[in-house]
Structure 1
Amino acid sequence: MNVALMLSVLLFLFIIWLVLDFHLGRKKHLSIVSRRETAIIHGDIDIFTHGKKLFADYFHELRNADKHIHVLFYIVKDDAISQEFFSILKEKARAGVEVRLLIDRLGSWKVKKAVIQSLREAGVRFAFSNHIKLPFLFYSSQVRNHRKVTIIDGKIGYLGGFNIGKEYIDEEPSLGIWRDYHLKITGRSVNFLQTEFLVDWHEYAGEDIMDHPTYFPVMTDGQVRHRFVPTEAQQLEQNYLTLIHQADNSIIIGSPYFIPCQKILAALLAALERGVHLSVIVPYAADHPLVQEGSFRYLRKLIRAGANIYQYKKGFYHAKTLMIDDKICDIGTANFDKRSMYLNKEINCYIYDPAFIQRLMEILKKDIEDSVPLTLAVLNKPNPIRSVKEGIAAVISYFL
């Protein structure tokens, strides 16, 4: 057997392994996943759209913690703001505050062993989520914990699109100003965020502390009607379909990555056909290879059907939102792509409060003003390199 033939056989066997690993891993995941979401609950919600303002508030609340700090992020980098974040957690742990930090194993790969050791020596309980593990190595490498949740003293919660790194405070020149949406929540509804963190912590750290009496202090209801919806496996797809089918007048989608599945695309096209006005906000420039090219074939179809597509130009657009008829808005950690719909663990907040929705509408209006319309003329202009990238992106769109 010559070398070329042997390599071809090995490549074929490798592809077969990848397909079987992914298929069987996904089947197992679907068989064990369960739905966890709240009924409509009440709390008070503020929104941050700029990283420097968010982290000034966030670090202030961390420093004021009295009892416990529970933190889950997808990405924590190795840079100045990350070091400040670690320093605060260590300072609070040394002062007797219970501190738990859960970060995704691949998303936070830059966190060094020495940093982890220093956290643990200071008293911080630390764990990685979503390890790559047998028997489904490839599938488990693709299922990431994309949630970004913090609960302080059981009374203050944070949820949204920001991670910990210099780009999130506008210190990455190639990306410019980072535009994102992050919620600060107070009131009784924080209890559910606490529960969701503790579920993940139990799964990955092996510590069952759900019955700890101080983690769920008695609090009053706030003013904003909302509910929290954690998702994984295929749950997000059905949630999006339900929301899109409810639309009578308008749908606004904001996402850094727009790679919907065929069911979602069909639902959006059907909404346009019944007269619903659809607007989509995406970045003008991409932060990852192929994600922009992966979106183009879907955006072409939507533009032809009458949708308005806007490319945000005043920095990088990383916000994740879905607005239905000015009546329901969804803000959370999930992107409008197949990875969030089928692979990642996410958590979103559905908000039903007219005053908050009006506030978000003003934010969306500003973001559209800071965007340029994307047209078929631009998308269809001959570009061999882009065409090749689109072809590659179409093949691997599930994993972008």
Structure 2
Amino acid sequence: MAVRGRWLRAACCGAVLLAALTPAGAAASPVASSTPPAPGSVISQQPLPDELSLPGAATATKLEYATEWRSGEPTVATGALFLPEGDAPEGGWPVIAWAHGTTGVGDDCALTTRTPRSDLERTYLQHWLDSGYAVVSADFPGLGSEGLHRYLDGPSAANSIVDIVRAARDGGAPLSERWIVMGQSQGGHAALHTAAIATSRAPELDFRGTVATGAPANLERAFTIGVPGFPDPGLWGLVSFSGYIFAGLRDAYPEADVEGYLTPTGREVVDRAEELCYDDLEESVRDIPVGELLARPLAEGPMPALLADYLAAPADGYDRPVFLAHGIHDVMVPLPLSAALAADMKAAGADVDYRVYVAGHYTTVERSRADVDAFVTRSFE
């Protein structure tokens, strides 16, 4: 394993160096090319600092591994592996791939770099460790690794989630082939995208199902009602989330005039979004009305097609059960957005259990836990 690890590090470093020396959009020289590591290959692993670990974790490891952007272009991502206390059962620990909520898009916002997990997330993940599951958690491409993290780029996040499960096994951890994906908020959106590709991307694994709470859905439709001077709808974090989305759009579609839809204030917010993690960005935009971001209606020109391509959560492609939950008091992601998705999923033939709780955006995680416990137990039977 040590020899193989050194080979992987050497191969990846060569690929990263080549990418750094190649202009964006240009083809690499055939003479200098090398085959990048296969998606899910471990590049490096090291202990995670205590302040970034989880209570109840016997070991906490930072993984650097190979994955791909939605285009298929190879990239390097980071994430964490947490193992429970005690000896692994026969066949290895069953795996929960946790997709985290919004932290930001800058490298300092990665959960394996400097940003500790919230108390809610730490408690929730400790529950799964104490219940006998290993937990892996991808940072998502560009978050703590090369490139800009494209916020709510579901296909790229999904690749990194599937591939961190492979990487954790590739690194020698005693893990079962059986796994599920689970996510909250931004992570719920990523979990849904993961569910649509998990079996086809990693047929060597045994994917069992999906849990998504507070998942943003149908944003591509909601955003097209945005116009200059749009009144404040009372949604928490809307200016910050908009800044992250436009930063991702600007990076993903450089040929499109994304900035042409923004006022000078809007462009300043997007520039800040590329640097500031969520709490700091929220503080900096607190007094900026959302209506001051836009210079033209988002329903005009190419923007509706860009939003649909970039933001849409999948309505079909699910070959395993999905537990989809939302809070009626969610003032970050309004409940009707996920209700419409659940209806579309059912119409497409998905096995989806849609639950609504008397809860807010974050408290849905705890209010749904008993039902999620039952779903996870059934999924691993």
TM-score norm. by structure 1 comes to 0.28
- The one of the two structures with greater contact order (alpha-carbon pairs below 8 A, sep at least 6) is 1
TM-score norm. by structure 2 comes to 0.29
Which has the greater radius of gyration?
1
